[in-house]
Chain A
């Protein structure tokens, strides 16, 4: 009997079909994600500049890493950035979502659309436009300051202000996105709960604190976790607006990694940075999961 696909025993055929269906995805995933993950861990124990062959150095990269001032500066900058962007951004987004959720507010679609415009434009373009807005000599932001009688600033050239500039721009860019997700969460809260509370004579703050916030916990948790994970990985806008300067005040961990790997060709060292950052994100996420689990039990 010829060995055809349809002649295989039914169980084998089913299994084969399953494997065939996942084959394309799994192959690419294995080659470009799974194996590289292992490779990057292994590589972090070597010293390699691409040109010569890799040299095993054990934990030397990691030891060197913690001894580098720039690593700690990058870490600090990344943490500052993350806390600012997430805390301020989410508070603003929730406030806006509460407002847009009001029944008396007209033009919801209009607002949703307009607030979403910065979200869909690329980070590169947004960075370009804001670099122009922040321009010390002819940028419009300094002009506004001048009109208000405030001193003009050097913005992106000022080591004390550059990070704030980037933070501000990022909050502006993602406000619409976070608002939409909060809105979806808000709309999942049943009207009856507010009705009952109002009949009981509660004020707005009480309703917010005892109905809205608790019922919003899953949404808030989700947004916060994703926002933190994303913020830790900031790169594009820093690279375009300041390249990590001035005076390393905006050097964040991924910029630090990029420079080491692709400007100085310290491949092994770069991998060590990658794994330390990965570890940090992992731990932070775990902590949040733990916190959330506790908060959820009342």
Chain B
């Protein structure tokens, strides 16, 4: 087992000094990742007056929790949260279902044109959002879906990336497993549902997390598809919050706090799974 790839030929003291320095750098970097969020929280706890002081106060006194209530009521946060939750959850569930079904078909079922169609699906993965957003906006308007959940959910369900991931994963399932079930008289849907899906748990978890995060954090799409306040998702709502209450930093930071802390808490709770999932999707 190699002890160290760096500095194996230095003296012991030199090594300790260098390692300590490097470790401190890593630590400083880690702190800098968190400080902006700390500062956000501190600002959210201040009064207006305390924010506009020079030099800045590092510990607000007293703690002012009123900001959180003000932010919550200044814009319909509850509604924004609800919208984001509905949209993100629906997109994730729909995406997992449709993409795993298609992934199974592309991996294990035979039908004419299968490979060509799969290539087309892959090709669509390379189409950036800004290419399709104008025609889709027009289509959504035409369908009367503007400012409805449909516009936010349906287009997001079909993900070439998700299908690709599921197909790659499912193709590693041994065929004998499925053939045995077929001989027993199972139809394909039962095979998909009772055998393939349970075996796909890691891929489903990874894709689910990834899809949920993307849907929750999405901005350009909901910005374009919603013009009324009550349909805005959390991200769009926050951005309008900014333009409605200019320079009201305490309110902004309180709002940002609402939007961020649940996400950070969920992340810290599931972090191992999340990071593993993102690496998995990243490398595949």
Contacts and interface: CB of A to CB of B under 8 A. Distances in A.
Given A25-B102, A140-B39, A277 B6 contact: no
Contacts of A175: 29, 33
B135 A143 contact: no
A69 interface: no
Interface stretch (B60-68, B172-180, B253-261): B253-261
Interface in B32-76: 32-34, 36-37, 39-40, 43, 51-56
A280 to B, nearest CB: 11
B130 A14 contact: no
Given A18-B105, A257-B130, A235 B3 contact: no
B160 A29 contact: yes
Interface residues of B, number: 102
Interface of B: 1-9, 19, 22-23, 25-26, 29-30, 32-34, 36-37, 39-40, 43, 51-56, 97-99, 101-102, 104-106, 109-112, 114, 117, 120-121, 124, 127-139, 141, 154-155, 157-158, 160, 163, 187-189, 192, 213, 216-217, 219-220, 223-224, 234-235, 238-239, 242, 249, 252-253, 255-256, 259-260, 263-264, 267-268, 271-272, 274-275, 278-279, 282-283
A14 B37 CA distance: 55
A152 to B, nearest CB: 11
Given A132-B249, A277-B128, 13 more contacts: A21-B192, A32-B155, A40-B135, A111-B30, A113-B275, A114-B30, A114-B33, A116-B274, A128-B256, A233-B129, A261-B137, A277-B130, A278-B128
A116 B275 contact: yes
Given A24-B101, A114-B34, A195 B2 contact: yes
B158 to A, nearest CB: 4
A31 B132 CA distance: 11
B124 A115 contact: no
B26 A111 contact: yes
Q: Looking at chain B's contact residues, is the secondary structure mostly helix, strand, loop, or mixed?
A: helix
Contacts of B217: 121-124
B140 to A, nearest CB: 9
Q: Looking at chain A's contact residues, is the secondary structure mostly helix, strand, loop, or mixed?
A: helix
Contacts of A203: 9
